[in-house]
């Protein structure tokens, strides 16, 4: 007699379509070859493709779980030496996640529920083998979904961690940026403003000394002051363009990159070769800023880590796609640094590019050194 209560997970065998199904690996823990034959018969009837192995003791079971790597275990609940529940607990202790169905002649409802509570995926009464194919598929899918969920949770955890580190890095960069601004204001503007003040004080002294100054002297004094003011204007411009690439809007992105590489060469004694497109580039503000920052971050990495003597920058637009390649001739980035969750500069670069629906690559260049390649669609 068919027991309706045995149908815990999937009721209707007919719903399953094995047409395009894969071949399943089934491990039977069963001392009765006849029962295995009956079960296999049901599976074949349902059109399921499978290969199977049968074991009836603990040692064989352990060996086959490892060697055969079954997709599912069908275990007799009532073996004398090593029964189904013992087998299940053993897998659990070993952290081996295999879909698991108990097969039994008779089983009280309470015992069945206890087994399910412990984590067994399903149980099948020997009187209702018809349900076996559906139960197998259901148990396998359940495990797949669990694995998917765990993978997803792990990925989410990793990206939370990355985000936390990025925010942290962002805060540190703000502090560093402030220090740079303070230093630049002090060293660049501070010096020339002091010079200007001295020039003005001297001029006042001469003008109020009672002595008549020649026209030439007055011109020279004002010429000197005017030169100092030009220097101040130049310093202010340099400082602001370092701070805000937007300040270079009127110059355009190509000139901004040119300026950046000149500054880089001055500071680092690394030659920089630029290959830019001839015509003016019409990029969105968002893309221009990203490009500017990408070049900045990559050049900083070259200066800090590469030991290179030369860096080459290629920039081009073809068929609405922007290509950027930055190549140095240094020692080459180590493989583990490329994907490390500690490489926040690289993570930031990758995210910047992905936000613009582009592709990012960093790796060892063919002739040594490091290569950063970027492709970003330019359509707005």
Ligand X SMILES: Nc1ncnc2c1ncn2[C@@H]1O[C@H](COP(=O)(O)OP(=O)(O)OP(=O)(O)O)[C@@H](O)[C@H]1O
- Which residue ranges make up the site for ligand X (CB under 6 A)? 169, 301-302, 304-306, 328, 330-331, 333, 337, 343-346, 370
User: Minimal distance in Å, beta carbon 47 to Mg ion?
Assistant: 57
Identity of the residue, 96 or 344, whose beta carbon is nearer to ligand X in the bound complex: 344
* Nearest in space to 355 (alpha carbons), one of 166, 155, 157: 166
Phi, psi of 371 (to 5 degrees): -125, 130
**Whole-angstrom distance, CA of residue 245 vs CA of residue 286:** 11
Identity of the residue, 49 or 300, whose beta carbon is nearer to ligand X in the bound complex: 300
Identity of the residue, 124 or 303, whose beta carbon is nearer to Mg ion in the bound complex: 303
Residue of closest CB approach to ligand X = 345
Identity of the residue, 242 or 377, whose beta carbon is nearer to Mg ion in the bound complex: 242
Task: Name residue 373's beta-bridge partners.
Answer: 325, 361
**Whole-angstrom distance, CA of residue 336 vs CA of residue 305:** 15
DSSP 47: T
Phi, psi of 357 (to 5 degrees): 60, 30
Identity of the residue, 139 or 362, whose beta carbon is nearer to ligand X in the bound complex: 362
User: Minimal distance in Å, beta carbon 182 to ligand X?
Assistant: 19
Residue 343 interacting partner from ligand X, Mg ion, none (CB closer than 5 to 8 Å by kind) = ligand X
In the block, tokens 């894969």 appear at: 22
Residue 138 interacting partner from ligand X, Mg ion, none (CB closer than 5 to 8 Å by kind) = none
**Whole-angstrom distance, CA of residue 262 vs CA of residue 242:** 12
Burial of 31 (0-12, 13-18, 19+ CB in 10 A): middle
Reading the block at residue 138, the tokens are: 């259901």
CA distances from 273 to 318, 326, 376 (A): 21, 10, 22
For Mg ion, the binding residues in 340-359 under the rule CB under 5 A are: 345
For Mg ion, the binding residues in 274-313 under the rule CB under 5 A are: 301
User: Minimal distance in Å, beta carbon 300 to Mg ion?
Assistant: 6
User: Minimal distance in Å, beta carbon 74 to ligand X?
Assistant: 50
User: Minimal distance in Å, beta carbon 162 to ligand X?
Assistant: 11
Count of all residues that appear for the chain in the document = 380
User: Minimal distance in Å, beta carbon 301 to ligand X?
Assistant: 3
Residue of closest CB approach to Mg ion = 345
Residue 337 interacting partner from Mg ion, ligand X, none (CB closer than 5 to 8 Å by kind) = ligand X
CB 123 within 8 A of CB 6: yes
Site size for Mg ion (CB under 5 A): 2
Identity of the residue, 27 or 372, whose beta carbon is nearer to Mg ion in the bound complex: 372
Identity of the residue, 74 or 346, whose beta carbon is nearer to ligand X in the bound complex: 346
Residue 257 interacting partner from ligand X, Mg ion, none (CB closer than 5 to 8 Å by kind) = none
Phi, psi of 40 (to 5 degrees): -60, -35
User: Minimal distance in Å, beta carbon 46 to Mg ion?
Assistant: 58
Identity of the residue, 219 or 341, whose beta carbon is nearer to ligand X in the bound complex: 341
Reading the block at residue 95, the tokens are: 């952290």
**Whole-angstrom distance, CA of residue 311 vs CA of residue 325:** 10
Reading the block at residue 197, the tokens are: 């003040």
User: Minimal distance in Å, beta carbon 307 to ligand X?
Assistant: 8
Identity of the residue, 168 or 226, whose beta carbon is nearer to ligand X in the bound complex: 168
User: Minimal distance in Å, beta carbon 153 to ligand X?
Assistant: 26
CA distances from 277 to 73, 254, 263, 286, 313 (A): 64, 9, 21, 20, 11
**Whole-angstrom distance, CA of residue 131 vs CA of residue 185:** 80
- The residues of the shown chain that bind Mg ion, judged by CB under 5 A, are 301, 345
């Amino acid at each position: 007699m068919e027991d309706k209560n045995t149908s815990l997970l999937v009721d209707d065998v007919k719903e399953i379509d094995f047409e395009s199904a894969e071949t399943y690996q089934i491990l039977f823990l069963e001392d009765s070859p006849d029962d295995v034959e009956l079960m296999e018969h049901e599976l074949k009837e349902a059109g399921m493709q499978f290969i199977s192995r049968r074991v009836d003791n603990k040692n064989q079971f352990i060996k086959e779980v490892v060697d055969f790597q079954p997709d599912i275990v069908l275990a007799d609940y009532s073996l004398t030496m090593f029964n189904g529940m013992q087998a299940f607990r053993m897998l659990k202790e070993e952290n081996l996640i295999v879909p698991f169905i108990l097969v039994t002649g008779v089983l009280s409802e309470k015992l069945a529920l206890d087994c399910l509570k412990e984590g067994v995926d399903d149980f099948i009464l020997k009187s209702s083998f018809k349900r076996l194919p559906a139960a197998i598929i259901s148990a396998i899918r359940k495990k797949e979904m669990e694995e998917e969920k765990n993978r997803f949770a792990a990925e989410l955890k990793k990206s939370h961690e990355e985000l936390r580190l990025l925010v942290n890095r962002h805060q540190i960069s703000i502090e560093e940026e402030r220090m740079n601004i303070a230093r630049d204001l002090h060293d660049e503007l501070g010096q020339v403003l002091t010079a200007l003040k001295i020039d003005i004080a001297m001029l006042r002294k001469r003008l109020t000394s009672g002595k008549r100054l020649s026209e030439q002297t007055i011109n020279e004094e004002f010429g000197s002051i005017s030169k100092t003011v030009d220097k101040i204007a130049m310093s202010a411009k340099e400082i602001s363009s370092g701070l805000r690439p937007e300040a270079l809007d009127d110059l355009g992105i190509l000139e901004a990159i040119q300026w950046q590489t000149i500054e880089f060469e001055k500071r680092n004694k690394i030659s920089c070769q630029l290959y830019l497109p001839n015509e003016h580039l019409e990029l969105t503000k968002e893309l221009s800023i990203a490009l500017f920052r990408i070049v900045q971050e990559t050049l900083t990495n070259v200066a800090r880590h590469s030991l290179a003597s030369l860096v080459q920058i290629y920039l081009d637009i073809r068929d609405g796609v922007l290509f950027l390649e930055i190549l140095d001739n240094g020692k080459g980035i180590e493989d583990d640094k490329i994907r490390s969750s500690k490489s926040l500069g690289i993570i930031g670069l990758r995210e910047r590019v992905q936000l613009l629906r582009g592709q990012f690559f960093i790796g060892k260049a063919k002739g040594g050194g490091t290569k950063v390649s970027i492709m970003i669609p330019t359509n707005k």
